Amino acid sequence: MLNDKSILITGGTGSFGRHFIRTVLKNYSPKRVIIFSRDEWKQHEMRSGEFNHPCLRYFIGNVRDRNRLYRAFDGVDIVIHAAALKQVPTAEYNPFEAIKTNILGAKNVIDAAIDQNVKLVIALSSDKACNPINLYGATKLCADKLFIAANSYARKHSAKFSVVRYGNVVGSRGSVIPLFQKKAGSKVLPITDTRMTRFWITLDQAVELVVFGLTVMTGGEVFVPKIPSMRIIDLAKAICSNCSITTIGVRPGEKLHEVLIPVDESQYTRELENCYIIYPSWKKELLGKSCYDRFQYSSDANTEWLTTEDLKGMLNE
């Protein structure tokens, strides 16, 4: 379905954007792929390296700039919205900047997609959008609601909007894994709390989820992958088995365990083989089977867990 399509990805120079583009160029024959981002140097690095395919277009812009999005979306069939301010401490200290990018930027993407006749839009969300306790999570929850609601006021044959929601990405910039790898040389790894657990997903799995969503979406779905959990203490041991551990305490805005599907959304959740789909209450045609009453998908009560050997294998890949 991606063959001969014009695809645009906001935040295209990020970890997900690069891997998504790499996968699309390997497996499909798109008409063009537009990398929309605000950092000219990162675009230059991509263009000078492996990302010099003739179908690639590099478009400098910011999702805060509504007019620039209108220009970029002209003739585009599919939009993947990956641009965001996602560092929790940064959002706490610069709340208005996070709101401008994550919420107002989402609104701009929606308006441009509807008015420029984009067919499909998938927005990337976060586990922190579930029952948020920090500003980043709150902005992502708000953005999710905007994208789902956009289906109600888009024209009948206009854009369809859906969301994918997943946990920490193995190897992405800003995750704890690069931090642990950097600290391993000192033989001491800082752990916030030995009880802490997190969901983990590879970049391959994240891209597969987006492509799957594009294949089956009819608008309004939140796609949640079935992915394993891991204890942070086990993660540290996998990175450096002979390092000592120091406990520094949970940071402001941080949870012990993350949730991808809260109890309150269980009545709208359907289970498929590879993922869950949270449907809006107004959706009638549903895939999969119903989840049990009071179902919750949380990292501490997961049925699938990563071992240290599993993680080492993922890092080697």
The pLDDT value recorded for residue 289 is 92
The pLDDT value recorded for residue 191 is 86
d(C-alpha 176, C-alpha 269), whole Å:
30
Domains detected in the chain: 6-167+201-225 (3.40.50.720)
The pLDDT value recorded for residue 175 is 72
Q: Which residues are catalytic?
A: 128
* Mean of the per-residue pLDDT values of the chain: 91
**Bridge partners, 298 (sequence order):** 259
Q: What is the pLDDT of residues 39-76, one digit of tens each?
A: 999 999 999 988 999 999 999 999 999 999 999 999 99
Q: Comparing C-alpha atoms, which of 133, 135, 173 is closest to residue 259?
A: 133
pLDDT at 106 over 90: yes
The pLDDT value recorded for residue 253 is 80
Rounded average pLDDT over 15-32: 95
The pLDDT value recorded for residue 44 is 95
Q: What is the pLDDT of residues 223-240, one digit of tens each?
A: 999 999 999 888 888 888
Q: What is the pLDDT of residues 179-195, one digit of tens each?
A: 788 888 788 888 888 89
d(C-alpha 114, C-alpha 145), whole Å:
16
Q: Comparing C-alpha atoms, which of 228, 218, 231, 301 is closest to residue 263?
A: 301
**Backbone φ, ψ for residue 246 (5° rounding):** -120, 135
d(C-alpha 40, C-alpha 23), whole Å:
23
Rounded average pLDDT over 273-284: 92
Q: What is the pLDDT of residues 110-160, one digit of tens each?
A: 999 999 999 999 999 999 999 999 999 999 999 999 999 999 887 776 899
d(C-alpha 47, C-alpha 158), whole Å:
32
**Chain length of the chain:** 317
pLDDT bin (cut points 50, 70, 90) of residue 249 is confident
Looking at the chain, the whole-number percentage of residues with pLDDT higher than 70 is 98
Rounded average pLDDT over 75-101: 95
pLDDT at 178 over 90: no
d(C-alpha 204, C-alpha 20), whole Å:
8
- pLDDT-wise least confident of 93-97, 99-103, 174-178: 174-178
The pLDDT value recorded for residue 169 is 87
Rounded average pLDDT over 80-109: 95
pLDDT at 251 over 90: no
